[in-house]
Amino acid sequence: MSTASTEKVREVAAQLEKSERTIWRWVAQGCDLASERSIRTFVEAKHLRRSNVQKSYEKLLALGVSDGSRASHQAQFENLVSGEVPPLGRRGAAAALRRLEETEERAHARLLTAMERGNPVQIEALQDFWLKCSEALRKLDLAIEMARRDAEEQVPKKLAQDISLFIAEWIRIAFAQFLSSEARSLMGIKDLGEFKAYAIERFRGILDLTVKSSLQTRSPIPEWAAEKVKEAWNVQ
């Protein structure tokens, strides 16, 4: 940490139009008052850390806006941004998403209104607010979608289509194998009840082997879907 004399601190404070307390804080943070580069670095960092209110105020000064005009612009800005507060509605993530969508729509409409009025300070402030709403909306929409998928409420349509095709194809293969291996035996059974019981039992065993075989191919039935197929056919 660099050291500094009271005289040097007072000199730099007067030169930069800063308080001596601010310069002492810079010194405590590592600013070397003997180095113009070090002082410039701290000045630039302070400039970058300005709040939006400070930036807007400086732009008003740069535009030569008087105190009365600034007050008028501030009143217009507050009236434009605040608007009427809507009544409370439904709760939950879905309702929050809807409210955020409405907020984004209003923010965009206010931005268009400010652009028509041509006030650069209002335009920048409302544009910043609209961009933040849009980003928050994007993140919340993504979070809700991921939550639905984690809760097994939603899967991609392409995945559902592929799984449906795989299941239908492997059941077709199982039935073809069943006919090939059991047709002759079934033709010899005369009793209808015995025919049904034998057919179901034999097909169930062939289906079990077929589903397991699918897991080793390029078009497998996912294990969680295979479990549902087995559950539907009461395969142990």
pTM listed for this prediction: 0.35
Best mean pLDDT range from 63-67, 150-154, 162-166, 189-193: 189-193
Is residue 26 within 8 Å of residue 49, measured between CB atoms?
Answer: no
Chain mean pLDDT for the chain: 76
Confidence of residue 87 (pLDDT cuts 50, 70, 90): low
Is residue 186 within 8 Å of residue 198, measured between CB atoms?
Answer: yes
Residue 104 has pLDDT above 80, yes or no: yes
Q: Read off the pLDDT of each residue in 100-126 and give the average, rounded to a whole number.
A: 83
More confident: 181 or 149:
181
Is residue 113 within 8 Å of residue 64, measured between CB atoms?
Answer: no
Residue-wise pLDDT for 165-191, tens only, equals: 888 888 888 899 899 989 888 888 989
User: What does the pLDDT read at residue 118?
Assistant: 81
Q: Read off the pLDDT of each residue in 76-86 and give the average, rounded to a whole number.
A: 52
**What are the extents of the domains in the chain?**
6-48, 52-150, 157-232
More confident: 90 or 120:
120
Q: Read off the pLDDT of each residue in 77-97 and give the average, rounded to a whole number.
A: 59
Q: Read off the pLDDT of each residue in 105-115 and give the average, rounded to a whole number.
A: 86
Task: Work out the number of other CB atoms within 10 angstroms of the CB of residue 236.
Answer: 5
3-state secondary structure of 196: helix
Tally: H helices and E strands in the chain: 10, 0
Confidence of residue 1 (pLDDT cuts 50, 70, 90): very low
Residue 63 has pLDDT above 60, yes or no: no
Question: Among 52, 40, 206, which residue's Cα sits nearest to residue 129?
Answer: 52
Is residue 209 within 8 Å of residue 231, measured between CB atoms?
Answer: no
Burial class of residue 41, CB neighbours in 10 A (0-12, 13-18, 19+): middle
Is residue 126 within 8 Å of residue 110, measured between CB atoms?
Answer: yes
Question: Among 93, 101, 220, 211, which residue's Cα sits nearest to residue 145?
Answer: 93
If you write DSSP's letter for every residue of 21-83 in order, what string do you get?
A: HHHHHHHHTT--TT-HHHHHHHHHHHHHT--HHHHHHHHHHHTT--HHHHHHHHHHHHHHHH-
